[in-house]
Amino acid sequence: MSDWLISLEGTEAGHRAALMLALMAAFLHAVFGALQKGRHDPWLTRGAIDFCYAAMAAPFAFFVVPWPEPFMWPIFAGSLVIHVGYKVGMAMAYTKGAFTVVYPVVRGTAPLFAVIGAYLIFGEVFTGVQWLGVLTLLGGTFGLAVYNMVFLETERDTLLPAMGLAVLTGLTVALYTTYDAYSIRATADPFTFLAWFFLIDGLVMPPFAYLRWRNMAYRPDPGPLMLRGFIGGVLAFLSFGAVILATRLDKVGEAAVLRETSTVFAALIGWLVLKEAVGPRRIVLMVLIALGAVIVEMGG
């Protein structure tokens, strides 16, 4: 399968496959984000998810895919540092703000810096129309942030910290998107990177989550928490794996922007599942984010 995937790089079929992978990643990442913000403490949920996807990745890493080349180990170390920063920022933001407040700002901030990173690292250049799409997406994102700051009545005392954490977390998303795109292109077998990434990345957060759980006055039942972790682990495999494969098949910047249509899916999940108020103005702003992603794709 690796040979077939590599044969698609730089082709029209590869471009179409990257488009579908990025959109699939968008939907699944919105579900993943809602899962982390659900009824359990986000730190505990993150630890359960990481434990589960590390356990699922281990057999593939040890017995299925080729072992990483020696030069890949420092690359894995860099990726680990970046992803831990992302997870800590995401969990802190979710403790301060609602899912429909935090998630759009994180995902909307990321593509601008990812596009810049793709230019600096991979020499990718956006057309004028594509930059119009990026600006449309950012307009929807920061319009949503301003709306939340003006009209949100609940969580008023934690709104500014939530927004600040969301922007910083968006920067880490852009950083891991470009760094991991470089990493998956560095190794001969893309599935080697994915298997070992999930194994290594999943070892950090579970000990911290366990310590947090142990020190709680009212500890949640580990059974439902681990079930949520298992579902989240599967979603993480599919979502992150899809977008990183998309960056190997086609342009990193386009994949990063298309993934941010996840904001629209997040709005629907927040409204229908988490019962968070959305409102017509916020829906219009979220649609702007999706429209910006569409313009980027059409402009290319």
From the CB of residue 81, how many other CB atoms can be counted at a distance below 10 Å?
13
Inter-axis angle of helices 99-122 and 72-96, nearest 10:
150
Confidence of residue 54 (pLDDT cuts 50, 70, 90): very high
Q: Which residue has the higher pLDDT, 296 or 208?
A: 208
What does each C-alpha distance from 166 to 98, 123, 209 come to in angstroms? 11, 28, 21
**3-class secondary-structure state, position 276:** coil
- Most confident option among 59-63, 147-151, 170-174: 59-63
pLDDT of residue 1: 65
Average pLDDT over residues 239-263: 80
Average pLDDT over residues 159-184: 87
Alpha helix stretches (DSSP H) within the chain: 2-7, 12-37, 42-63, 72-96, 99-122, 128-151, 159-186, 190-201, 205-214, 222-249, 252-259, 262-272, 280-299
Residues counted in the chain: 300
pLDDT of residue 193: 92
Does the structure show a pLDDT above 80 at 44?
A: yes
- Its sign, for the CA torsion 249, 250, 251, 252, is negative
Mean pLDDT of the chain: 83
Domain span including residue 45: 2-299
In the chain, the percentage of residues whose pLDDT exceeds 70 is 91
pLDDT of residue 197: 94
Domain count, the chain: 1
Q: Which residue has the higher pLDDT, 277 or 136?
A: 136
